[in-house]
């Protein structure tokens, strides 16, 4: 690490300490966010800190390596979207432990990958819970912004949704992410909504009834 980078990181950590919120930190730790260090800095303040620095992948990578909640989030804010590769995405996802970090990672970086829909579908097929969660979160953001996906990707997504709802071993965290993505998918166009209804109306079991109930409310 060169001296300039060292000074920037030192400066950032000083700002984090000065912005520490003990009440938020204690609450988050009780909720399971067991980082080595959690300053409890709230998101608007973190964005203010990030805005003071030029986005830089080397700086972001160093911040990401820290087992500090705020460093992980700042790393996401400070990584240039156009330089964030699939290889980096895979590595960061493997090190992503909490949904708070995952949500920011999906919304700010992963949806900008050149092949974001296919990348998301690969994560859904993984056995790793966090990867599944991120896969659905990426797609939620893509559907919200009306990002185009191919017919093959669309078909793969709908079948994955059906499999997810049928799997009783999956956590509610994953199923909730899947449900949100389905709502965003159906809300993006009437055609998509009708397509989803048609798929889940066939041989409707208990899990399909749950999905249809979601779709009927759109």
CB 119 within 8 A of CB 138: yes
On the question of pLDDT at 209 being above 80, the answer is no
- pLDDT value of residue 34: 86
Question: In which band, very low, low, confident or very high, does the pLDDT at 205 lie, cut at 50, 70 and 90?
Answer: low
Q: Compute the distance between CA of residue 178 and CA of residue 8 in angstroms, rounded to an integer.
A: 39
Mean pLDDT over the full length of the chain: 92
- pLDDT value of residue 198: 84
CB-count burial class (<10 Å; 0-12, 13-18, 19+) for 123: buried
- pLDDT value of residue 31: 85
pTM score: 0.90
Higher per-residue confidence, 106 vs 28: 106
Neighbours of 48 (CB within 10 A): 12
CB 105 within 8 A of CB 141: no
């Amino acid at each position: 690490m060169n001296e300039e980078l060292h000074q920037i990181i030192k400066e950032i950590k000083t700002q984090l300490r000065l912005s520490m919120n003990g009440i938020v930190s204690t609450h988050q730790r009780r909720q399971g966010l067991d980082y080595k260090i959690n300053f409890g800095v709230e998101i608007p303040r973190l964005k203010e800190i990030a805005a003071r620095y030029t986005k830089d992948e080397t700086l972001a990578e160093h911040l990401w390596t820290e087992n500090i909640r705020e460093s992980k989030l700042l790393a996401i804010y400070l990584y240039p979207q156009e330089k964030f590769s699939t290889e980096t995405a895979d590595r960061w996802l493997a090190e992503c432990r909490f949904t708070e970090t995952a949500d920011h990672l999906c919304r700010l970086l992963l949806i900008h990958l050149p092949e974001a829909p296919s990348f998301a579908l690969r994560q859904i097929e993984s056995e790793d819970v966090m990867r599944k969660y991120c896969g659905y979160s990426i797609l939620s953001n893509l559907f919200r912004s009306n990002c185009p996906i191919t017919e093959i990707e669309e078909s793969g997504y709908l079948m994955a949704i059906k499999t997810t709802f049928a799997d009783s071993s999956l956590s509610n965290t994953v199923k909730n992410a899947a449900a949100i993505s389905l709502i965003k998918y159906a809300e993006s166009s009437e055609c998509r909504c009708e397509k989803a209804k048609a798929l889940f109306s066939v041989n409707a079991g208990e899990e399909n009834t749950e999905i249809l109930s979601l779709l009927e409310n759109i």
